[in-house]
């Protein structure tokens, strides 16, 4: 960045801190603003992206003691950001010679004015003078270009439920580049996956940004994800729940697994089938089978009579006794 750039930019105002702010205050202000304007939180907002870059540039200078000292010196000479002019200052503004005259004893009513020319054969411009003061040449950056991290980019993909459970390879086109990556097994709907170094390139040797991928998962009509476990709700008949039974339960791979339903199983109880869930590099989840007692919509005459007989035989049982007692507590 050139000296003229530093004259025109108020890094303290960009971070919202006073000029005498200490390092801790500068860092705190930067972190707060960086979270607010980060591209991940403001996707597609060009003004937020510009603000994010502005506060990053400001922090890069003010967090470096040497660069901050040079920046403060240049801003002080420039009167806080005004351009230097080659002739006498206009109304309300000092000229180039007024600033340097004040530095070397000139200026003011009756004082000897020290004049510096910014043009003419063999004469260097303002950048040459600042360069000689800080060890650089015309148009050079103070201390050389600072490494800058590339910006993070965002992308999204939608996977069928089965691919989300088993893992899938997807390809994106980002900033004119093709990026192929592996989505791990068991990814959840709305989960964000960060691909390191797949964002915009850094500058001056800075690290490349990341690509943040939001994964959407299409719901399955039968299965759902619960961490690394798969859930399924299975209907059973009243006799199966009351008397007990062994039933066939479908699995995601298209096969079935035998599940024993104990006698007296109530509707809503969950039975666990170990090792039939999501398989990851670290572990394998389970299949969680929730039993739902199915009530027939129509009964034959014989079935109705059987149910009526059952009702008469169990008339003394109050299945809501505990509910009434707990409600009264």
pLDDT in tens, the chain (329 residues): 545 667 778 999 999 999 999 999 998 998 889 888 887 778 778 888 888 888 888 888 898 888 898 888 888 876 644 444 444 444 344 444 444 444 444 444 444 343 333 334 344 444 444 444 444 444 444 456 788 898 999 999 999 999 999 999 998 888 888 889 999 999 999 999 999 988 888 888 888 999 999 999 999 999 999 989 999 999 999 999 999 999 999 999 889 999 999 999 999 999 999 999 999 888 999 999 999 999 998 999 999 999 999 989 888 888 888 887 888 87
pTM, two decimal places: 0.53
The pLDDT score that the predictor gives to residue 3 is 55
Question: What residue ranges define each of the domains in the chain, with the CATH number in brackets?
Answer: 4-76 (1.10.287.110), 153-218 (2.60.260.20), 223-293 (2.60.260.20)
Angle among Cα 313, 317, 322 to the nearest 5 degrees reads 165
The pLDDT score that the predictor gives to residue 6 is 74
Percentage helix, strand, coil for the chain under 3-state DSSP, each rounded to 5: 35, 20, 45
Quick check: helix, strand or coil at residue 235? strand
Q: What is the largest CA-CA distance in the chain?
A: 122
Q: Which residues contact residue 63 at a Cβ distance below 8 angstroms, ignoring those fewer than 6 apart?
A: 23, 26, 27, 30
Report residue 180 as tokens: 């192929």
b vs e for 277-289, b when ≥16 Cβ sit within 10 Å of the residue's Cβ? bbbeeeeebbbbb
Quick check: helix, strand or coil at residue 22? coil
């Amino acid at each position: 960045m050139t000296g003229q750039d530093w004259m025109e930019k108020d890094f303290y105002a960009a971070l919202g801190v006073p000029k005498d702010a200490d390092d801790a205050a500068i860092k705190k202000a930067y972190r707060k603003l960086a979270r607010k304007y980060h591209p991940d939180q403001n996707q597609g907002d060009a003004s937020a992206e510009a603000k994010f870059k502005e506060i990053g540039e400001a922090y890069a200078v003010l967090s470096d003691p040497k660069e901050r000292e040079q920046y403060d010196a240049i801003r002080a000479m420039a009167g806080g950001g005004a351009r230097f002019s080659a002739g006498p200052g206009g109304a309300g503004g000092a000229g180039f010679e007024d600033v340097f005259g004040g530095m070397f004893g000139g200026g003011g009513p009756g004082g000897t004015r020290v004049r510096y020319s910014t043009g003419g054969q063999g004469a260097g411009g303002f950048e040459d003078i600042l360069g000689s003061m800080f060890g650089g040449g015309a148009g050079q950056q103070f201390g050389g270009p600072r490494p800058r991290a590339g910006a993070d980019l965002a992308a999204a993909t939608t996977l069928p439920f089965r691919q989300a459970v088993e893992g899938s390879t997807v390809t994106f086109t980002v900033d004119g580049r093709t990026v192929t990556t592996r989505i791990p097994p068991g990814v959840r709907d709305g989960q964000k996956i960060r691909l390191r170094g797949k964002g915009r390139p850094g500058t001056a040797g800075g690290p490349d940004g990341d690509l943040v991928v939001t994964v959407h998962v299409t719901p399955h009509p039968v299965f759902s994800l619960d961490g690394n476990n798969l859930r399924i709700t299975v209907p059973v008949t009243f006799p199966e729940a009351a008397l007990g039974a062994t039933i066939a339960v479908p699995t995601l791979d298209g096969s079935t697994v035998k599940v024993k339903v104990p006698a007296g199983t109530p509707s809503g109880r969950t039975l666990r089938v170990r090792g039939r869930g999501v398989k990851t590099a670290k572990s394998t989840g389970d299949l969680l089978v929730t039993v739902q007692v199915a009530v027939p919509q129509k009964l034959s005459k014989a079935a109705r009579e059987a149910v009526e007989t059952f009702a008469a035989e169990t008339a003394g049982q109050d299945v809501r006794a505990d509910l009434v007692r707990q409600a009264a507590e």
